[in-house]
A and B are shown apart, each in its own frame.
Chain A
Amino acid sequence: MRSIVNLAARLLLILATTVAVSSALGQTVTIAVKAEPNTLDPHKVVGRQSEAFLANIFDGLTARDAAGTLVPGLAESWEQVGDTTWRFHLRHGVAFQNGEAFDSESVRFTLERAGDPDSPATTWSQINTITGVDVVDAYTVDIHTVSPDVLLPARLAELFGPMLPPVYTVEAGDDFGTHPVGTGPFVLKEWVKNERLVLAANEDYWRGAPSVKEIVVRPIAEDATRVAALIAGEVDLIEGLPHVMVDMIDSRPELRVERVSASRVFYISIDASVKPLDDVRVRQALNYAIDRQAIIDRLFGGLGRPAATIISAQAFGFDPSVEPYPYDPEKAKALLAEAGYPNGFSIEFDYFSGSVADHYALSQAVAGYWTQIGIDVKENAYELGVFQEKRGANKAAPLYVYSLGDVFLEPFWLVEWLAAGDMSRRYSNPEVNALIQEIRSTFDASRRAELYSEVQRLMKEDAQHAFLFQVDTLWGASDRVNFTLRADEVPWFYPLSLAD
């Protein structure tokens, strides 16, 4: 018996040593993410997670700095040369990771591939104002848009404007997604799906070689396991730290929480075309009834901020003087009584689970607040895919939860999106529509900011949504690495470095 125990102990020791050796590979940084990209072909990516990851391998014509400001990328500068034409001056001497030169032809090829009518890019809707690309010379391109598009430079940043090498892309065909070539800071070295994705530093990167030579990206879907991997020292960084686990990380001296306010605004859509929601007093009552700060405190550890409209605090044009609805249940009841519903009414409310961001718990909290002012809330809980189908068919309940992030940090497109009229998007206010049309083609930034202020004031007052809050995106980090999050939430590993 003793010899068996002995043997078992030795076996465990050997196993333990293997683990220790594998986690201490010098210059490598290991990062656990919630999910790996579905593909690394920028025109076939599905979901924000996949889109955002591309920045590490590709560059766009423009880019974002740590604060989220638009800065030059593969284009050194850009200007308007007509109402519907932008001219981009490209950076000289940039090569793709396979040696192909980056020039105007690459831009033309990439954008034509994205807009191929037979199989447009999954992300085409983000850049589909483009109608054509003219090569002016080897390092100058003119990009035409269907109507004046103030947003074009932002559209061509890292998320939707990654540039591809024409020769290699055609050669690679369907294999491009697993063997991508860009101009970015890292080269894909190895990808074992569901296990690891290894990035090697691009020593010839035009911004200068990255400090970390190798990054291992491991998908770990389960929150608890991902956090355990960080605490056990197996990984140096984890994406998507759940708010309820912040204390666990904070209590360990060698770990820290990195946070940045996400642009995603959670909201409840209110159908103003049906009774009794057609009365603005009723819609305002629904807004006054919700204690936004309490939900942030209880569900998100206080890491968030109440929102007044869909326009997030870091977006261009955000006006802090338009304040979120305060929590005032008495006023809410008074408004209901005034509108003729002193005893409330009965209404359906759709919400869902299974999306990247948790909409489930907060929806239940909101339903609870509405119940407190006397409304009989009929709650329908769905799985995301099923709800999306219902919403897409324009059949969502009069009240439903949703959220949107501002990928361009320039929000007119969000308002336009809310007002599209189909797919249960019911926002309707002619005044706001007119303002949005004006913003689209107003190239003077200060004038645009004024117009945005007006949009926010109107959106808050007409209360066709109960905008709730923005919450912080959290990462867990080991003190072994220096890493901060970018304001646009793109996981950008270029500035990552090892602490000495």
Chain B
Amino acid sequence: MLSYLARRLLTGLLVVFGVTVMVFGLTRVAGDPAALMLPPSASAADIAAMRERLGLDDPLPVQYFRFLGSAVRGDFGKSLRHGESALPLLVARLPATFELGMAAVALALVVAIPLGVVAALTRGTVVDVGLLGVAVLGQAVPNFWLAILLINVFSVGLGWFPTAGRTAGLASLVLPAVTTAMYLVGTQLRLVRGTLLEVLNQDYMRTARSKGLGRTTLLIKHGLRNALIPVITIAGVQLGHVLGQAVVIETVFQWPGLGLFTVQAITGRDFPVTQAAVTLMAVFVVGINIIVDALYGLLDPTIRTA
């Protein structure tokens, strides 16, 4: 188990390293921050001087290793736009994104598990088809469109929730969390349905039935318990997906998290913040994957040596 984890950690590190190379390269080919930081009246000489002050005229490998050398010590440099250290700026935005992610995944599980069970038990009926339809719809609807629809219905029309921001406590969280959860529900519902159907056909289930166990006990104790292992795994992985979705959801709802801040950094060519944000996200996703793998190993002994 330990050597397995050590191996996963090592590959994780390699992935993060690869991500830093990619984000560094991509930011450098995607435009010059110096020109965007000066007013239109700035001359070419002004822009060149700004590039020099920002250290952007050094050769790329020099810039990269300078970045990497500081980054391993947790120093991603100062934000070009905000003039403050990039990492603390981002860390201050983590709670908002974490809150949104947890709420969305929890909400998705609460909705998807019962609906998935219902779909599995009513397999092939109108109910099953209807639920699968909803699941597909949840995954197919573009999240920015859904977000604006929800704002128009629940904020503008009914006045139940604020349109944007994170200033009204729990009420602010509802619409962004529901929008994010919609996509997750689809995946989870189908997964619960599929694994439960598979489990219900297993030999041990037949044995349990033949022992005369009640339908509910059978379903919950023997069926659902086993069916939930992959669901938990996926829920963990989905926390990573939420980060990707946050880029859109946080922008539409002005949710002051990592996603919104990253989008602003990218548009403003704020290299230090973009690099720190992407590295941070990579660490986060890799970390979750390792944790999920470890948990999975604990839950299912056959995985441990794999």
- Chain A positions within 8 Å of B, measured between CB atoms, are 12, 15-16, 18-20, 22, 32, 35, 38-39, 41, 44, 46, 48, 51, 119-120, 122-126, 174, 177-178, 192-196, 218-222, 224-226, 228-229, 231-234, 354, 383-386, 388-389, 392, 404, 407, 413, 417, 420, 422-423
Residues of A within 8 A of B268 (CB): 38, 46
- Residue B169 CB within 8 A of the other chain: yes
Q: Judge whether B43 and A420 touch: CB under 8 Å.
A: yes
Q: Judge whether B171 and A228 touch: CB under 8 Å.
A: no
In the bound complex, CA of A404 to CA of B40 (Å): 8
- Which stretch in B31-39, B238-246, B292-300 binds the other chain? B31-39
Q: Judge whether A15 and B160 touch: CB under 8 Å.
A: yes
Residues of B within 8 A of A392 (CB): 32, 35, 44, 47
In the bound complex, CA of A228 to CA of B40 (Å): 33
Cross-interface CB contact of B36 among A22, A32, A46, A221, cutoff 8 Å: A46
B40's nearest neighbour on chain A, judged by CB, is A404
A216's nearest neighbour on chain B, judged by CB, is B167
Q: Judge whether B256 and A194 touch: CB under 8 Å.
A: yes
Cross-interface CB contact of A388 among B35, B53, B164, B167, cutoff 8 Å: B35
Known contacts A15-B171, A385-B36; decide if A39 and B83 are in contact (CB<8 Å). Answer: yes
In the bound complex, CA of A38 to CA of B78 (Å): 13
Q: Judge whether A222 and B254 touch: CB under 8 Å.
A: yes
Known contacts A18-B171, A194-B260; decide if A122 and B37 are in contact (CB<8 Å). Answer: yes
Residues of A within 8 A of B37 (CB): 46, 122
Q: Judge whether B81 and A220 touch: CB under 8 Å.
A: no
A124's nearest neighbour on chain B, judged by CB, is B46
Q: Judge whether A125 and B155 touch: CB under 8 Å.
A: no
Cross-interface CB contact of A177 among B83, B164, B251, cutoff 8 Å: B83
Q: How far is the CB of A30 from chain B (nearest CB, A)?
A: 10
Residues of B within 8 A of A423 (CB): 44
Ordered by A's residue number, 30 sampled pairs between the chains whose C-beta atoms are within 8 Å are A15-B160, A16-B171, A18-B170, A19-B159, A22-B162, A41-B83, A46-B36, A46-B37, A125-B43, A126-B41, A174-B84, A194-B261, A194-B264, A195-B166, A195-B256, A220-B165, A221-B260, A222-B253, A225-B148, A225-B163, A225-B164, A226-B164, A232-B156, A232-B162, A385-B33, A389-B31, A392-B32, A392-B47, A404-B40, A420-B43
Known contacts A18-B169, A19-B162; decide if A386 and B30 are in contact (CB<8 Å). Answer: yes
Residues of A within 8 A of B39 (CB): 48, 51, 122-123, 125-126, 407
A44's nearest neighbour on chain B, judged by CB, is B83
- Residue B235 CB within 8 A of the other chain: no
- Residue B168 CB within 8 A of the other chain: yes
Cross-interface CB contact of B155 among A192, A218, A228, A354, cutoff 8 Å: A228
Interface residues on B, range: 35 or more
- Residue B42 CB within 8 A of the other chain: yes
In the bound complex, CA of A422 to CA of B43 (Å): 8
In the bound complex, CA of A160 to CA of B121 (Å): 70
- Residue B100 CB within 8 A of the other chain: no
Cross-interface CB contact of B252 among A196, A225, A389, cutoff 8 Å: A225
In the bound complex, CA of A226 to CA of B148 (Å): 11
In the bound complex, CA of A25 to CA of B269 (Å): 38
Residues of B within 8 A of A232 (CB): 155-156, 159, 162-163
Residues of B within 8 A of A32 (CB): 164
Known contacts A15-B171, A422-B44; decide if A388 and B151 are in contact (CB<8 Å). Answer: no
Q: Judge whether A219 and B254 touch: CB under 8 Å.
A: yes
Q: How far is the CB of B23 from chain A (nearest CB, A)?
A: 15
Cross-interface CB contact of A19 among B53, B152, B171, B253, cutoff 8 Å: B171
- Residue B222 CB within 8 A of the other chain: no
Chain B 169-197 interface mask (CB, 8 Å, partner A; 1/0) = 11100100000000000000000000000
Residues of A within 8 A of B252 (CB): 222, 224-225
Cross-interface CB contact of B151 among A46, A51, A225, A384, cutoff 8 Å: A225
- Residue B217 CB within 8 A of the other chain: no
Given contacts A15-B161, A229-B162, 8 further A-B contacts (CB under 8 A): A16-B171, A19-B168, A22-B168, A38-B81, A220-B165, A385-B31, A407-B39, A422-B44
Q: Judge whether B46 and A225 touch: CB under 8 Å.
A: no
In the bound complex, CA of A169 to CA of B30 (Å): 35
Q: Judge whether B164 and A15 touch: CB under 8 Å.
A: no
- Residue B93 CB within 8 A of the other chain: yes
Q: How far is the CB of B218 from chain A (nearest CB, A)?
A: 24
Q: Judge whether B254 and A220 touch: CB under 8 Å.
A: yes
Q: How far is the CB of A410 from chain B (nearest CB, A)?
A: 13
In the bound complex, CA of A204 to CA of B83 (Å): 30
